[in-house]
Structure 1
Amino acid sequence: MKLTLFLTAGLPSLLAAFALLPAALQATDTPPVTEESPRYRDLFNTSAFTLVTENDKYFAGTDRHYTNGLKLSFLGTTRLNESPDFIRRVTQLLPTLRADASRQLYKVGVSLGQNIYTPGDTEISTPDPLDRPYAGWLYGSFDFQAKSLDGKTLRMVEIAFGVVGPAALGREFQNGFHDIINVPHANGWDHQLKNEPGLILSWERRHRLLQLGLNASEDFSADFIGRYGLSLGNIRTNIAGGFGARIGWRLPEDFGADLIRPSGGDEAPARATSIYFFGSTEVRAVARNIFLDGNTWRDSPSVDKRPVVADLNAGLVLRFPARLGSIRGLQLAYIQNYRTKEFYGQLKRDVFGSISLTALF
């Protein structure tokens, strides 16, 4: 069976929990709504919009496996007692977000994204059955974060839902873009994974383990951040852990730029110009990856995945204040990522770049 025993037991429970979510939220005691109650538009008072594009052409020059990712995200900052009722209900329902509300800053966000995966040889019409299948993943997500006021701990929960298969528009996006840049089509999309709805519940926690001022004014500083988390769903099920380090001028009061990952993203206001370098690593123990294992309930192309995968990356972040209408700051980040082999028979490790632009309000 393609679906592991863990998923067979865990996924139905997860789906049942989400089915009961509306009733649970209604049952949670919250203050009555009045004319003075917070509104969702209040989240725009301190917020960030981020566009991330990832591609294996960025300083890598390949065109295989995880070949393109695109994600647009919004995060708005609030205190719990200033939040709309729905946000307060969610934080009470999810144990990982529960804490002394007076000691937390909360963020709520939404994201839209698409990932595209192809085999190494995209010229042939019938893909090699021992190579990675064609697949697209089109999704949206709700994101919830709670950061301690001392800036040392960040708790994150993401609920992502979408579709894998032709409905994810991987063929249309990739070959349409290839037409624009005058590059030959990928010819094996007729053999992509079949349509399947997808759900992922992700939880992550990050800790600032060490922070050092490297000059008298402490404008030049460094920090060291640990991270660990869990993702559960029919698209992806894994546990992950890793570390990251930053060094630079006026490090922002956040946990750094990130790849397109579940629960990724945390942006502080741009109070001053800053520039910093960083490096990080993450190791994942993988129980389920639909883009390698194939469809959950239907026959489809698949490969024999490796149970452990690691990422190693380095990047540069530039952030500066700005006055462009409501925009109060801009951030530009570049990350180069090296990923170990994900399936048996894979000839080379993968390399891809990530470019993100954030508008801070």
Structure 2
Amino acid sequence: MNLKHTLLLLCLLSGLQTMAQTHRNEFGFQSDNDSFLAQGSDRYYTNGLFVFFRRGLNVNDTTRFKNKVLGIELGQKIFNPASGQTPDRDMVDRPFAGYLYAGVNLNYLYSNESNLKLGAQIGMVGPAALGRQAQEVIHNTFGFYELQGWEYQIRNNFQFNLSGEYNRLLGRAGKDADISLNTYANLGTGFTGAGAGFLVRLGKFNQLFNSVSMQSTAIKQRGFEPLNKHEFFFYLRPTLRYVAYDATIEGSLFTKSDNSVEVRLTRKPVVFSQQFGVTYGGERWIFDLSAIFQTKDTKEMLKAHQWGSATILYRFN
């Protein structure tokens, strides 16, 4: 074998190795709970559980796009007042509410490290969302206190919500630090509003079109060289939100209940959140841990939100 053939074989083997490192599918879970912060609190956004499946799609225009990802998710969010033990209606400072949904989204990831993510969700807010039952299972399993006050929860209403995200890299200092613009908008029967903020990453990360940060690690073919083989970075994500409507606070958009048991509170239109986290993205496994602190979203709330979030994903072909 001459030198030319040897070099050609090495190039082919290198290409095969690169292809072997791409995984088209990923599946995983996310769990949110205020108890993760070990502060002894059980208030407001108290629990969330989500299941994800993502699949990398064909990319035909490689000069414009680097990746396209289809996402499917199932999720449940649970809210209660300052305590899940609220026997008096007058003590409710944020309504008891559950939100159960199924969603689909399409993530377009561009060569200039921007992305457009479009999604839709259908679901229920109210008793049909099974928030009370899920919280009772958690409390009974771990020996927590007895719940009181779910009879005051938001009444049943069907949800159809649309969402859009646009994110873009603003600047990068070498391979160890960068900052991106994050924006989003929601429109629907339950959640309407918009927000903007920044994502700051410090550590070993990849381009936004193939990174845990933009839920873009599922990829069918990779015609580019990643910045790092594995990701391991810390991040900061401050976000300012405008909330035009929130069904977990205000109930149905179309029919106001005349039931005096249901509690009606005053939504705050502007909310600020701050997220601190650490992410690891390996060959197949992805882990993310974060803490989120958010200002009050009703005028009656005694304290601000705070909760922790843990995500685990497995990538495969």
Deviations 1:97-145 (A, max 9, x none): xxx6762221111100000000113223333365111100000001111
Paired position in structure 2 for 1:320? 282
Larger radius of gyration: 2
Amino acid at match of 1:135: A
Which of 67, 79, 83 lines up with 2:58 in the alignment?
79
Q: Which has the higher contact order (CA 8 A, sep 6+)?
A: 2
Which of 273, 283, 295 lines up with 2:252 in the alignment?
295
For 2:110 and 2:181, the matched residues in 1 are separated by: 15
Paired position in structure 1 for 2:76? 114
Unaligned runs of 5+ in 2: 1-21, 220-225
Amino acid at match of 2:27: F
For 1:226 and 1:153, the matched residues in 2 are separated by: 9
Paired position in structure 1 for 2:233? 276
Amino acid at match of 2:46: T
Runs of 4+ in 1 over 4 A off after TM superposition: 255-258, 268-271
| Counterpart check, 1:207 vs 2:168 | yes
Paired position in structure 1 for 2:215? 265
| Counterpart check, 1:48 vs 2:19 | no
Which of 207, 220, 236 lines up with 1:253 in the alignment?
207
Change (3 A) 1:345 1:298: closer
**Pairwise CA distance, 1:45:** 5.5
Unaligned runs of 5+ in 1: 1-43, 82-99, 259-263, 322-328
**Pairwise CA distance, 1:345:** 2.3
Change (3 A) 1:310 1:144: same
Query: Is contact 1:293–1:303 with CA below 8 Å preserved after alignment?
Result: yes
For 1:332 and 1:132, the matched residues in 2 are separated by: 32
Query: Is contact 2:160–2:190 with CA below 8 Å preserved after alignment?
Result: yes
For 1:199 and 1:101, the matched residues in 2 are separated by: 34
For 1:102 and 1:252, the matched residues in 2 are separated by: 18
Change (3 A) 1:305 1:231: same
**Pairwise CA distance, 1:274:** 2.9
More displaced 10-residue stretch of structure 1: 351-360 or 129-138: 129-138
Change (3 A) 1:124 1:312: closer
**Pairwise CA distance, 1:356:** 0.4
For 2:119 and 2:31, the matched residues in 1 are separated by: 20
**Pairwise CA distance, 1:295:** 2.7
CA RMSD between the two structures: 2.1
Which of 147, 161, 168 lines up with 2:109 in the alignment?
147
For 2:287 and 2:208, the matched residues in 1 are separated by: 15
TM-score scaled by length of structure 1: 0.73
Change (3 A) 1:288 1:106: same
Paired position in structure 2 for 1:33? none
Query: Is contact 1:73–1:110 with CA below 8 Å preserved after alignment?
Result: yes
Deviations 1:322-356 (A, max 9, x none): xxxxxxx1111111111011111222111100100
**Pairwise CA distance, 1:360:** 1.7
Deviations 1:226-265 (A, max 9, x none): 011210011110011110100103x13337656xxxxx73
Query: Is contact 1:121–1:127 with CA below 8 Å preserved after alignment?
Result: no
Query: Is contact 2:82–2:303 with CA below 8 Å preserved after alignment?
Result: no
TM-score scaled by length of structure 2: 0.82
More displaced 10-residue stretch of structure 1: 304-313 or 288-297: 288-297
**Pairwise CA distance, 1:79:** 2.0
For 1:122 and 1:359, the matched residues in 2 are separated by: 34
Paired position in structure 1 for 2:291? 336
Paired position in structure 2 for 1:360? 315
Query: Residue 82 of structure 2: SS of its match in structure 1?
Result: coil
Amino acid at match of 1:48: E
Amino acid at match of 2:29: L
**Pairwise CA distance, 1:80:** 4.9
For 1:356 and 1:52, the matched residues in 2 are separated by: 4
Deviations 1:192-236 (A, max 9, x none): 1111110110011000111221xxxx4xx1111101121001111
Deviations 1:254-309 (A, max 9, x none): 37656xxxxx7333579723311110111111110111122331313221111100
Query: Residue 139 of structure 2: SS of its match in structure 1?
Result: helix
Query: Residue 57 of structure 1: SS of its match in structure 2?
Result: helix
Query: Is contact 2:92–2:263 with CA below 8 Å preserved after alignment?
Result: no
